[in-house]
Amino acid sequence: MKPTQTTYVRVAALRTSVAAAALLLCSDAALADGKLAIKAGKIVTAPNAPVIEKGVIVIENGRITAVGKEKDVKIPWDAPVIDAPKATAFPGYVEAHSARGMDRPNESPDIVIPFLTVRDSIDPVNFYFEDCLRSGITTINVQQGNDCIVAAQGMVVRPVGLTIDEMAVKIPSGIKMSASARRGASAPTQAQALRRVFTDLRRYLDQLVQDKKDGSDRSRREALYQGRDLEGDKAKGRAMEGTAWTVKGLELIPRGEVDEKQEPLLALVEGKMPAFVWCARPADVHVAVEVARDNGFLAKTTLVIDASCWKAADVIAAAKVPVVLQGSVMHLELDPLTGKEIETFVPKVLHDRKIPFALSSANASSQSLWYQAALCVGHGLPRAAALEAVTSAPAKILGLEKRVGSLEVGKDGNVLLLSGDPLSVTTWVERVVIEGKDVYDRSKDVRVQHLLGGKQPANTAAMNGEMLDPSKVCCDGSDEKAHAKHLEEQRRAKDKGEGEDAKPADKKDGEKKDGEKKDDSHDGHNHDGAGEHREGARQ
Amino acid sequence: MLAIASLLVCGFAAEPAFVPVSPAIGAAAAFLNAPAADPAPGAAVPAFAADAATGDVGASGEPFVGQDPVEKGDKPAGDDPKDKEGADKDKAAKDKNGKSKDDDKDEKKDKPKPKPTPPKPKGPPLAVRADKLYVRPDRVLEGVTVLIDDGRIAAVGTDVKVPEGVRTLQAKVVTAGFIDGWSSFALDPAAFGDERISPSSTALDAVDPYVDARWEREVLRGGVTAYRVQTAPHTRIGGLGAVLRFHPGKLAQDSALSSDCSLALTLSSARGGDDVFERAADTERVLGAIADGWAYLQEKNEYKHELAAWEKAIADKQKELDDGFKKAKKDREKAQADAKDKGTEFKEKEYKEDKKPKAPRYDEDREVLARAANGELPVVVEAHSAVQIRALLESARKFKRARLVLAGGAEARRFAKELAELRIPVLLSPQPMGFYVESAISSGGLGLAAELEDAGVEVLLGSGGADGLASRDLPLLASLAVGHGLSPKAALAALTTRPARVFDIADKVGSVEIGREADLVLFDGEPFAAATKVKSVICGGDLVVEE
Amino acid sequence: MTLSVVTCAALLALVPVQNDKANKNERRSWTITAERVYTAAGDAIEDGEIVVQDGKIRAVGKGGGGDLKAYAVTPGLIDLSIRIDQGFRSVEQSNEITPQVRALDSLDVYDEAWLRAARGGVTTAMVSVPDRNVIGGLSVVLKTAGAARAAERVVRPDAVLYGAIGSAPSSANHPAFGRPDDFYSRRPTTRMGVEWEWRKSLFDAAVSRQDPKRATPGHEQLHAALDGKLPLMIQAWASQDIRTAVFLVEEARREGWGNPTLIVDAAAEAWREPQLLVRSKAAVVLPPFSPEGRTRDGAFFALDTAAKLAALEVPLALSGHNATDLESRLCYQPGYAMRGGLSFDAALAAVTSTPARLVGVDARVGSIKAGKDADLVLWSGEPFQPTSKVIGVLVDGRLIVDPRPGASLDASPAASNSNK
Amino acid sequence: MLSLAKFSLATFACAAAPAFGAAQSFVAPQGEGAFAVSAPHVLVDGKTVVNDALVVVEHGKVREVLDAKQKSKADGLPVVAHDGWVSAGMIAARSHLATRGEVEEPKRALNPQARILDVVDFAHPELQAALRSGITTIVVAPSDSNLIAGQSAIIKTHGRTVLDADAHLVIAPAGSALRINREPTSYPGAMAMLEREFERPMGAVADVAAGKLPVLLEVQDRDELARALDFAAKHKLKGALSHASLAGELAADVKKSGLSAIVGPFGPGTAPRPLDSVLALAKESVPLAFGLEFGSAPEELRWSAVMCARRGLANDHAWNALTSHAAAILGLEKRVGTLRAGCDADLVLWSGPPLELTSRVKGVFVGGVHVWGGQQ
């Protein structure tokens, strides 16, 4: 059944309201200026650090300038203060690899596209980023999906802002590849396709240099023939670096002349670009490591592994690469001889083999990072190790260990205020501060009230609106009315320019307009989106 | 001990039968009007070639090559009864005008870069006392001791001194480990019939290194120590096959005997349905791969000659330009001066030279096809119906260098003579199973192996790759063939020396000779007798099965 | 390469499961001590001791130094919607109303999912006929581990009459154009149709009770359901389906057809109109919580549903739906409920005593009392917290998961497997 | 089902029968009178081997098996001299040979009156092939794709001999008999339907209920097996279980049920589990016999036995499962399966011990008539 026109309108409208909602989350303190002080009952600066009772964190221009006991730290007179005597302050969680937050995570699986970037696919008002705030994730590495050979460049973002530029933390964060059979292929086909990418690069560069040389030889001969003085040709580019292989004479070529489709690959081989390689089966780990080693980017490689890859722990450890554990933390398989089910708790294996690993919230039940960490503690990991897997470990994988992952002077002011122990199932993220901006306050989060109380505010969609039952979206008159009412309110707000205080209000309006424009432009995607879910809901 | 060893070696060497003759060479020679075999399809990538020097071919058994002339993956004559003196003679003759030694070097260089494998751990030394040892099917020694050190056979002899503390095993009969020439053990299920496969893709990528070790033990208990898998079975043009070991302690890739032992083509009657013409077209397309490889070889060859010519021409030109430079300079200054005086505009002389010839586009898949067409890589063609086999024979006549192997060959009977003439080995899987077809009665089935053998065709046996675990039952399949007339000697050869030679690993396994890697099976009786049990199995020098 | 290290790693990581060779688990008498024993009947006992003899609980009290130790012990968990069935082979689709069909007849006790459930602390579970039929048939309550034959595991054969409202029973169907011998050309094709089928069959049953001549197969069961002897368990995810279920039962009462007992299964949107459930004295079985609140039938599952219902004293049970991924298993479901505001005791009751009562097996299971079956779960920490783990499980006194360190290393086939 | 791989093998693998032209060792007797077959080894049954023996055949029956000392008794009889082994003909306790695939009535789930004998084609080359591989007696059964599939028949592979026109009623309370477009679609439906049939039994079902007609219970998985066992116990069914590849894991229950088990065929690459299951059944001394699939080649029968023997089944047990036990399961122990006096003279002349795959069939006699091999 095709989605009706109303669906489009409705979904577009939803996004508008989301943009609005996202804005509402930013409280005045954040907007005041670059300073912020946080008083918390407890401060846990890092997974294994001692707890600071009655502590203070001072953030200026996004960076932490002081952490310590209330009596030791002087709060600047002009800094707005968040006073949370009951809360525990904890570093924001870091998502080392996620294919969410984009309109569609995969390009056509059969083409090599390292010159593309997820920048053009990230949707700032995607519900995923909102969920991230809610579950305390303050840094996210967005990478293309796993269905590829060599895919686009990813980027690290913070889950706030209405434009990519507001969100951007690090561009690019690395190139995504897959060592595992993409749609409709088998393991050997995939492995060969992946290797071929680099043999082709190499032949391309060889040819480039060869042609250059031939050309200059000829002109030298021409000069001889014409009796002109010869001038030797000087290097216009820079020599190729690279630990595995290099092409001699590349310095003759100005880097600008290198095909931009090949440039990112060249950067990889020169060890100037990180790589995230997906491995769905233990056998794929061998391919991933081999290709990375043979082309000199093993040191810059992170394996994104499925639980089954615990069997390749030896290879991973030997290659000294970090991993991101995607999917379930528990690997199930049937014993081929007895038919009995064997369970393996993978993080334990990785920990025991001293393999640096990060947990991922992209798992079977899409549970959040802290929950995965908690499960690790339950299954025998030291508490510190479990927490590192969602803070400092991913930070290191993203090369951001100097900026995120713990609460130290000089690092980004990404602070979570939690209602209790980070790993307790009853603990909630009360407030989130990202680089000194107070971006999330649970008491103002209409959607968490929805999640918790099911009170779905008239002007918002259900959580993950993408998945919501269209019959409820477009066939439910009351929602339509509510939405109209909401738009009406917005218009009045604009006209009057009313609001708590004028400045931020204006600002809001300005951004709100952008928000709306953006959403209209996004309509296109939502057509099929809504269509699918219409089908989806039928199954 | 060493003395004895070398003494034995001499014993071997003395035999006239052991004149080293490569089938590739034989074939090559027969193809007289062909351009001399080309250096390195792929030598175009110097870096690769450089790496290839450290390929496992180079690494394996080199020290012994000098000692034992039977090395170098050659066809040991007398390996099967049909090999008459005559054959040897004309082979020897061919050898003279065959390929030169440096060709062989090139061949070695062509081997694509092997996977980086950690050095094999040295197993503890072992000794085996055998009442009866099949050195190879046609060479039996009584009451000998085999000494194994560092995974290799260090000595074979009647009075070999076993060093202190070396464990010694007893056995009635000892043979080389069986090789399943046609298996699908641990193969990625998605690889079956993956038509997107490319000739350059390798079976090492298709095999799951983490297959349950107990399954490997299952197979080893039958006496099968190695298996050949094809990258993507039952695809028109498959990739490179590999020979791997059932070593329970090691990853398949780490105990590999060969990472590119064959190229596979499939002429399946399943495809094309009832449409005769479609089937014919399909056959043509598949066998066309060899022609394509040959064409590529020639393109590159032509290019080489053109380039040489051009370079020479340019070199001459360069010389004459260098010589003429002073004059040219003077002329130019003069010309410039004149122009000034006359007030005309000065023009540089126009320079001409002929264009540099363009290299054929490098294509790693065609590189593989070229190696196949050139006989550097055996081509295993799965074909069953008479039509397909006839087509196969035609292309065998057309491309004399190609080393074709017929796999399956349900209706091969009526082509026995040609197959023997063209020295095309046939890889059979004598299955007790299968859909019953009336015509099968005339196609002989289980009797086929024997009949081809009698007709002088070289028969290899494999488990057929229908089921990964079928390799376990290969010895049973072999005895089934024996039951239907195949001589036990031929059967043994079909499981050891022949696959070893056909797939170019004879320098590593297939026979119990000094320097070979130690894959041994210890029986309590003659192999292929149901009563006989496998006592112990040694795989890569490690004792992997013992009772 | 050396592989020993990864081997031990694998073994340590393995959930200790004893392979259920009969002789091996025959010991059925134990003494279990724990810092906290949550009996689900009265207050928790600090430093408690439980004496198990021949598969039954003989004594519960204070004490120490038993042969099985844990931080906490709870009764074996009970899952009323475990959904380990054989899909279409469990549903007799030649008719959409099949009250006489018994889930017992399609049981596969050899499914590995049973042991997985047991490893997760579920010791008793109810299997129903999947939701392809309007009235699927009779559900069976059984132990998740123990004897090799179904009959010996059954706790209660025909516990409830199970049916479904919503898209499931109708979605695959279509009117009979074209393919006459296609089973999906059958009623109903809409939610309306489903409701109609329900009302019709209840009505017919009511009629045939007056006039036995008009009885058709299955009416016997429907009569029992109308009399309230056989609880009526109806799957209804979305609020409109829950409404339908409630109205059905209320109509039956109003029209004097009888007084059915209603249990709403998978009631994700029960939070929308809890009063309805209170009014109709219905009990509720909640589906596994979903982080984003998404569930089937487009229903939105609020995290505090359990808390809301508990506050209104609606009898409440949680369920696991045979989840394979660790996060969604029943032993962690009460945690989510607590995150939504439910008290620990209420959460505990929702996976032990309440479900036992709802399907009438509370005489044997659901709490730790002398005389009851020795179905116990041993925890490494506070139950239901993700930071805790089920380290021991007893079913009828048989040790299914052995809490003793180093136990079950023998059992794990990975030992030989992971030498790679 | 056969995998794609297996199928393409089929084209050449099917080549089941031994080749014709193979040299034969003995001269077959002329005429119908009594004669004797002499051989160094005669396998009377799994346990008893008589060396340097004479098998005396009269009126198509085995009169006696004489050892070296008694040879004189056979003086004057024409003697067929064979230099290998002689055994009784093998028995396939389930097969679909000679049916050309007409083994099910898809429309109806219940076909108690259907008789497979009506489709058996005695001239079918499959019977020839079976004969050549040493199989002289076969059960031809309808397939397991109907709940009550019909009645099987027991025939000789030569001479249109029908030993039993309605040997079993084939009942398949299994997934294989569940269709989405006919009743029943489910296990409960199937069991209910069977119960209904047995409440008011008629025709063949009545015979079964009365214990006059044995059943062939076709089941695959363990849960199906368990259900079938309960059903069998409830209605006191006699007969055999078929397929049930993991029955060994419930060996005790199978033993209790008094049913026998027809296992196999096991092709190359059969997983260890089903083989171990056979061993477990043997350990519980559940009567065993081997059967053939639709489309399987007759060689699979002996092959299956050898696979089990390799796995640890005692050789004599394996051989009995191919012969005497199979006969007993079919209630024909007095007629076939051994060379005891009075049994049909179904002789197979082997080049070596029958369980050696290296041995092959040299000649076959059925009912004392020389039907294949040798020279006329």
| pLDDT tens-digit series, residues B286-317 | 999 999 999 999 999 999 999 999 999 999 99
Contact status, residue B424 vs residue B396, Cβ threshold 8 Å: yes
pLDDT higher than threshold 70 for residue A151: yes
> Residue C149: which of D187, D188, D253 has the nearest Cβ?
D253
Give the residue from D107, D179, D187, D193 with the most C CB atoms within 10 Å of its CB, the best one to mutate: D187
Task: Give the tens place of pLDDT for each residue, D161-173.
Answer: 999 999 999 999 9
Residues D89 and B137: their CA atoms lie apart, in Å, by 36
Contact status, residue A174 vs residue A274, Cβ threshold 8 Å: yes
Across A489-517, average pLDDT: 40
pLDDT higher than threshold 70 for residue A530: no
Max CA separation in chain A (angstroms): 90
Q: Beta strand D61-66 with D49-58: parallel, antiparallel or unpaired?
A: antiparallel
Output the six-digit token pair for C374.
């020795």
Which are the contacts of A15, defined by CB distance < 8 A and separation ≥ 6? A125, A515, A518, A519, A522, A526
Across C309-328, average pLDDT: 94
Tell whether C21 lies on the interface with D, counting CB pairs under 8 A.
no
Q: Which residue of C has its CA nearest to B211?
A: C417
The strands making up D215-219's β-sheet, listed across from edge to edge, are D148-151, D169-171, D215-219, D239-243, D260-263, D288-290
Contact status, residue B518 vs residue B540, Cβ threshold 8 Å: yes
Q: Which of C346, C347, C411 is nearest to C385 (CA)?
A: C347
Task: Give the tens place of pLDDT for each residue, C272-285.
Answer: 999 999 999 999 99
Task: Give B357: exposed, middle or buried? Use CB within 10 Å, 0-12, 13-18, 19+.
Answer: middle
> Residue C106: which of D181, D187, D250 has the nearest Cβ?
D187
Residues B169 and B545: their CA atoms lie apart, in Å, by 12
Contact status, residue A322 vs residue A397, Cβ threshold 8 Å: yes
Using the CB atoms, write b or e for B365-392: b if 16+ within 10 Å: bbbbbbbbbbbbbbbbbbbbbbbbbebb
Tell whether C134 lies on the interface with D, counting CB pairs under 8 A.
no
**What is the residue-wise DSSP string for C2-45?**
--HHHHHHHHHHB-------TGGG----EEEEEEEE--SSSS-E
- Flag if A282 and B208 touch (Cβ within 8 Å): yes
**A233: DSSP letter:** P
Contact status, residue B370 vs residue B293, Cβ threshold 8 Å: yes
Output the six-digit token pair for D280.
């477990």
Q: How far is A285 from chain C (nearest CA, A)?
A: 14
pLDDT higher than threshold 80 for residue A48: yes
Average pLDDT over chain C reads 88
Q: Beta strand D35-43 with C398-401: parallel, antiparallel or unpaired?
A: unpaired
Residues C410 and C399: their CA atoms lie apart, in Å, by 15
Across B320-345, average pLDDT: 91
Residues B414 and C148: their CA atoms lie apart, in Å, by 57
**pLDDT band at A293; cut points 50, 70, 90:** very high
Residues B368 and B324: their CA atoms lie apart, in Å, by 47
> CA dist C354 to B82, C276, C330, Å?
83, 20, 15
Give the residue from A379, A468, A474, A476 with the most C CB atoms within 10 Å of its CB, the best one to mutate: A379
pLDDT higher than threshold 80 for residue D4: no
Residues in B closer than 8 angstroms to A283, CB to CB, are 188, 205, 207-210
Task: Give the tens place of pLDDT for each residue, D109-137.
Answer: 999 999 999 999 999 988 998 999 999 99
Tell whether C254 lies on the interface with B, counting CB pairs under 8 A.
no
The rounded percent of chain A whose pLDDT value lies above 70 is 77
Q: Which of D346, D20, D348 is nearest to B484 (CA)?
A: D20
Q: Is B248 helix (H, G, I), strand (E, B) or coil?
A: coil
Across C290-316, average pLDDT: 90
Task: Give D69: exposed, middle or buried? Use CB within 10 Å, 0-12, 13-18, 19+.
Answer: exposed
- Flag if B349 and A187 touch (Cβ within 8 Å): no
**pLDDT band at B532; cut points 50, 70, 90:** confident
pLDDT higher than threshold 90 for residue A374: yes
Task: Give the tens place of pLDDT for each residue, C104-140.
Answer: 999 999 999 999 999 999 999 999 999 999 999 999 9
Tell whether B210 lies on the interface with C, counting CB pairs under 8 A.
yes
Task: Give the tens place of pLDDT for each residue, C365-396.
Answer: 999 999 999 999 999 999 999 999 999 999 99
3-state helix, strand, coil in chain A (%, to 5): 40, 20, 35
pLDDT for B347? 87
Output the six-digit token pair for B273.
């349905």
Which are the contacts of C395, defined by CB distance < 8 A and separation ≥ 6? C76, C118, C123, C143, C144, C145, C146, C375
**pLDDT band at B194; cut points 50, 70, 90:** confident
Look at domain D90-329 and name its CATH class. Answer: alpha beta
- Three-class HEC string of B310-369: HHHHHHHHHHHHHHHHHHHHHHHHHHHHHHHHHCCCCCCCCCCCCCCCCCCCCCHHHHHH
Residues in A closer than 8 angstroms to C327, CB to CB, are 328, 363-365, 367, 371, 375
Task: Give the tens place of pLDDT for each residue, C232-245.
Answer: 999 999 999 999 99
Highest mean pLDDT: which range of A181-190, A202-211, B41-50, B104-113: A202-211
Residues B264 and B239: their CA atoms lie apart, in Å, by 6
**What is the residue-wise DSSP string for B66-84?**
TT-TTTTT---TTSSTT--
Residues in A closer than 8 angstroms to C115, CB to CB, are 340-341
Residue type for A351, please?
H
pLDDT for B270? 56
Output the six-digit token pair for D371.
């039907």
pLDDT for A38? 97
Which are the contacts of C3, defined by CB distance < 8 A and separation ≥ 6? A314, B249, C418, C419, C420
Average pLDDT over chain B reads 79
Structural Rg of chain B based on CA atoms: 27
Which are the contacts of A57, defined by CB distance < 8 A and separation ≥ 6? A37, A38, A40, A43, A64, A66, A67, A89, A407, A413, A415
Residues C176 and A505: their CA atoms lie apart, in Å, by 60
Q: Which of B147, B213, B115 is nearest to B1 (CA)?
A: B147
Task: Domain ranges for chain D, please list them.
Answer: 4-89+338-373, 90-329
- Flag if A192 and B232 touch (Cβ within 8 Å): no
- Flag if B213 and C416 touch (Cβ within 8 Å): yes
Task: Give the tens place of pLDDT for each residue, A384-436.
Answer: 999 999 999 999 999 999 999 999 999 999 999 999 999 999 999 999 999 99
Using the CB atoms, write b or e for A283-313: b if 16+ within 10 Å: bbbbbbbbbbbbbbbbebbbbbbbbbbbbbb
Contact status, residue A98 vs residue A136, Cβ threshold 8 Å: no
**pLDDT band at B12; cut points 50, 70, 90:** very low
Which has the minimum average pLDDT: A15-24, B326-335, B506-515, C182-191? A15-24
Which has the minimum average pLDDT: B20-24, C156-160, D329-333? B20-24
**pLDDT band at B344; cut points 50, 70, 90:** confident
Across A81-86, average pLDDT: 95
Residues A132 and A129: their CA atoms lie apart, in Å, by 5
Residues D245 and D266: their CA atoms lie apart, in Å, by 10
More confident residue, A182 or A67: A67
The rounded percent of chain C whose pLDDT value lies above 70 is 88
Q: Which residue of D has its CA nearest to A338?
A: D273
Task: Give the tens place of pLDDT for each residue, C83-94.
Answer: 999 988 999 988
Q: Beta strand D215-219 with D169-171: parallel, antiparallel or unpaired?
A: parallel
Taking one residue from B and the other from C, the number of pairs with CB-CB distance under 8 angstroms is 18
Q: Which of A394, A336, A277, A355 is nearest to C6 (CA)?
A: A355
Partners of B170 in the β-ladder? B129
Which has the minimum average pLDDT: B234-238, C42-46, C68-72, C237-241? B234-238
Contact status, residue D219 vs residue D243, Cβ threshold 8 Å: yes
Average pLDDT over chain D reads 89
Question: Side-chain half-sphere of C84: how many Cα atoms within 13 Å?
Answer: 29
pLDDT for A524? 34
- Flag if C335 and A425 touch (Cβ within 8 Å): yes
Task: Give the tens place of pLDDT for each residue, D336-352.
Answer: 999 999 999 999 999 99
Across B219-233, average pLDDT: 93
> CA dist C293 to A368, A447, A456, D1, Å?
14, 11, 12, 43
Query: Which chains have 3 or more CB–CB distances shorter than 8 Å to chain B?
Result: A, C, D
Output the six-digit token pair for B92.
């020897």
Question: Side-chain half-sphere of C67: how many Cα atoms within 13 Å?
Answer: 9
Tell me the CATH number for domain D4-89+338-373. Answer: 2.30.40.10
In the numeric block, the tokens 């009996």 are attached to C39
Contact status, residue C361 vs residue C375, Cβ threshold 8 Å: no
Which has the minimum average pLDDT: A278-292, B78-92, D362-376? B78-92
Task: Give the tens place of pLDDT for each residue, B421-462.
Answer: 999 999 998 887 654 443 333 335 788 999 999 999 999 999
Which has the minimum average pLDDT: A29-38, C194-203, D239-248? A29-38
State the alpha helices, DSSP H only, in A57-186. 127-134, 164-167
Using the CB atoms, write b or e for C172-206: b if 16+ within 10 Å: bbeeeeeeeeebbbbbbbebebbbebbeebbebbb
